[in-house]
Chains A and B, each alone.
Chain A
Amino acid sequence: MRMKDIPLSAWIGIIGILLAFFLAIFAPLIAPYGEREVVGEIWEQMSSQYLLGTDNLGRDLLSRMIYGARTTLFVALAASVLSFSIGIFLSFTAAVTRGIVDQVLSRFNDLMMSVPTLIFALVVLAVLPQNIWILITVMAVLDSTRVFRLGRAVALDVAVMEFVEAARLRGEGSMWIIFREILPNTLSPLLAEFGLRFAFSILFLSTLSFLGLGIQPPAADWGGMVKDNKDGIIFGIPAALIPGGAIAALAICVNLVVDWLLRRTSSLKGGRGDA
């Protein structure tokens, strides 16, 4: 693949994501003030001192945005990596072993998916103690049902191909079949799915935080910052819209990259026309 094959839209997405990660990694160096430091009046206007103004407690909004990138990206990324690992491991196991293992896993997955993710999360978070690792685990487990469904479908598509049968006939073991025959042929759709799951995790985390069930204050995260500053809206203070816009922008960036990945996958499958 060459650089010039990447379309402009995907470039925008890649640059946006890199920028967010840059902010997150170097937050203490970049942020002008501390994460929890009260520096001024409540909801001060944008100024040269406070580039984005201050929030509902008089903390610097820009600094909180930068630290918020850290929390939001870390939790969303951790949740998608975990959900992906669980989903892919279980789905590939189901697709390769088939039989009773597949049946049990698939039926249980159907059951989990028959409750909307957010509703399920609300029920579970109502009981569990509030803690960042529990939050990540709940998000990951709920999301892994989607990964499982796609992973199983993709793996089954490949597993019924004759070259996999040929490997079985040769006497190859399950590990060879999964890692050498199936996985290389499913990388493209799985990569796109990972992107989708990451975008979904960002939105999901933000929604939970917005509802007061995600990241707990005073830690900064973008969804929680919308919640903190939402009362300002009535007075025409846009402080809540800045973190909201950041969430949207990041999700758009991820989706732009995913869109390109998906189109690349389908053009590989499409092949030549019939002459």
Chain B
Amino acid sequence: MPDDTKLLSVKDLKIGATIYPPGEDPQDIGIVHGVSFDLEKGKVLGLIGESGAGKSTIGLASMAYGRGGIRITGGEVLLNGEDILKLSKSGVRKLRGAKVCYVAQSAAAAFNPAHKLGDQVIEASLKHGLMTKEEARKRALYLFQVLGLPNPETFGDRFPHQVSGGQLQRAMTAMALCPNPELIVFDEPTTALDVTTQIDVLAAIKHAIEETDTAALYITHDLAVVAQISDDIMVLRNGHMVEYGTAQQIIEAPKEEYTRALVNVREMKKAEAQDQSDVILSVDHVSASYGGHFKVLHDVSLTLARGQTLAIVGESGSGKSTLARVITGLLPLTEGTVSFNGEVLPPALKQRSRDHLRRIQLIYQMADTAMNPRQTVGEIIGRPLTFYEGLRGKAKRARINELLEAIEMGDGFYDRYPAELSGGQKQRVAIARALAARPDLILCDEPTSALDPLVAEGILKLLMKLQKETQVSYVFITHDIAIVRAIADSIAVMLQGKVQRFGPKSKVLAPPFDDYTDLLLKSVPEMEIGWLERVLETRKMESAGN
């Protein structure tokens, strides 16, 4: 007997795929192993998990769709009591874009560059004969207004490349909402956005699905985000369900250990070092530009004390990574000086001595591209040892083992290639390579932002442990305030190539704030139900006060 209130009912869903490992026979692997859940009309279910949890695959399966070689191998997906996996091709077509719609992670790629946004938004409604062109246009206009897009009357006349990323993501939401669907699948819709943009898009999505009373599957890896928007949450791991309950229960009283770890992942805090007078790195009035024209850093000044961590926070385009490139000499500065251990560094890489280079090491965001795929872990870590210290043979091997121990990996990885390592292991090897040079300073350029939260936490803990043991200093570049709290002694907030705010952590994170720091701090989702409403409320009051 189909239940009236149940819109979507997934029963024992099993999904598999055939993979073709190079040089081996094709293998069938399972991606989702028997997942079940229900979704009522007008409700939002959050699917959360790390990469490989199968959450996107489940989302697409609720549209009877599998990417690439992915096949649904068992179970039922009931929409209004009807199993959509048993539908004919044309039956599935009638469903997609009419009853169930999809919002992709990258709207920039998901929109066709050759057509106007407005035409793409109303296309499905027209193709399915749900409304006339006039009605569809009206609805699109209404949705553009609800989603807070600028100039809603003319927004639809623009081409995808003519609007910003945040606006595209909202346009994609409008496209999904336009045919009045019963269910929308949101696949990490805010992951690619900056935090201050994310909060706007998140608020717009929440407002729009409430306004139109649409049910949604909201897929993300960020528990704090999903807590703001979902009624229920399902935690997934490696294709298995870990925990399933109301948002309130998952966030406030998680039962499973894995869920608890996810909830508490942002709890790490570092006590700020009191004495910040022993300066190792000093950046004084530095400006830099690309190609001599496009100025990306304006009069940047900051300092870092020995054995401590300076966090540089900012969004994309703030110049934070450029600052790291200037400190390393990859991008020679045009004005100002960078002093290291009391000595002014030559601006360009080529002018620096081998000892300068040894003392400052860099860890990249993507460990994948930062290591030569044709070299083994042993070769990668061993090269700086030979290059800087002339170590060879047994002494070198012993030191490599020592480093492998330090990054908690062990000797067994000596002969492995980077492709055989997990994301977290690769980043650990990158850390070992930096440590091998016995540096005084390590620049960390978002080393954890490509990693799953628990793995990222492991990396942060490792970095803190190594700092205690070796007294190495860090410049840690990040967009994530939670990480700043976890590791920093001092903080620099950057915006459009300028330092907005700089000082010890306790001072930077305490009022009175400047406008931008205030916005940044308030935009970071907190692991708390009702956080989004609270922030929006204060914003409203502030703007009313002005």
Contact = CB atoms under 8 A, between A and B. Distances in A.
Interface of A: 1-2, 5, 161-163, 165-166, 168-172, 181, 184-185, 264, 267-268, 272-275
Contacts of A267: 20, 22
B67 interface: yes
B373 A275 contact: no
A169 B358 CA distance: 9
A273 B67 contact: yes
Residue from B70, B328, B352, B370 with most neighbouring chain A CB atoms (10 Å)? B370
Contacts of B357: 169-171
16 contacts: A1-B23, A161-B369, A162-B369, A165-B330, A169-B357, A170-B384, A170-B387, A171-B352, A184-B372, A184-B374, A185-B374, A272-B19, A273-B68, A274-B56, A274-B67, A275-B70
Contacts of B358: 171
Contacts of A273: 17, 19, 67-70
A171 B361 CA distance: 11
A275 B54 contact: yes
Residue from A162, A267, A273 with most neighbouring chain B CB atoms (10 Å)? A162
A264 B20 CA distance: 12
Interface of B: 17, 19-20, 22-23, 31, 52, 54, 56-57, 67-70, 328, 330, 349, 352, 354, 357-358, 361-362, 364, 366, 369-374, 383-384, 387, 433, 437
Given A5-B23, A171-B358, 15 more contacts: A162-B364, A163-B371, A165-B330, A166-B364, A166-B371, A169-B349, A171-B357, A172-B387, A185-B372, A267-B22, A272-B19, A273-B17, A273-B70, A274-B67, A275-B70
Given A171-B354, A185-B372, A162 B22 contact: no
Contacts of A168: 330, 349
A244 to B, nearest CB: 38
Contacts of A163: 369-372
A275 B369 contact: no
A181 B372 contact: yes
Contacts of B20: 267
A-B CB proximity, top 5 nearest: A184-B374, A162-B370, A273-B68, A171-B357, A163-B372
B434 to A, nearest CB: 9
A171 B31 CA distance: 44
B17 A185 contact: no
Contacts of B369: 161-163
A165 B347 CA distance: 17
A165 B57 CA distance: 36
Nearest to B69: A273
Contacts of B433: 166
A191 to B, nearest CB: 14
A168 B383 CA distance: 13
A168 B329 CA distance: 10
Given A184-B374, A185-B374, A267-B22, A166 B362 contact: yes
B529 to A, nearest CB: 30
Nearest to A5: B23
A163 B22 CA distance: 24
Contacts of B68: 273-274
B383 A170 contact: yes
B387 A2 contact: no
A162 B366 contact: yes
Nearest to A272: B19
A161 to B, nearest CB: 5
A195 to B, nearest CB: 20
A133 B152 CA distance: 71
B31 A169 contact: no
A164 to B, nearest CB: 8
Given A2-B23, A162-B366, A275 B17 contact: yes
Residue from A166, A185, A267, A274 with most neighbouring chain B CB atoms (10 Å)? A166
A275 B67 CA distance: 8
B67 A166 contact: no
Nearest to A274: B67
Nearest to B355: A171
Contact of B373 (A5, A165, A172, A185): A185
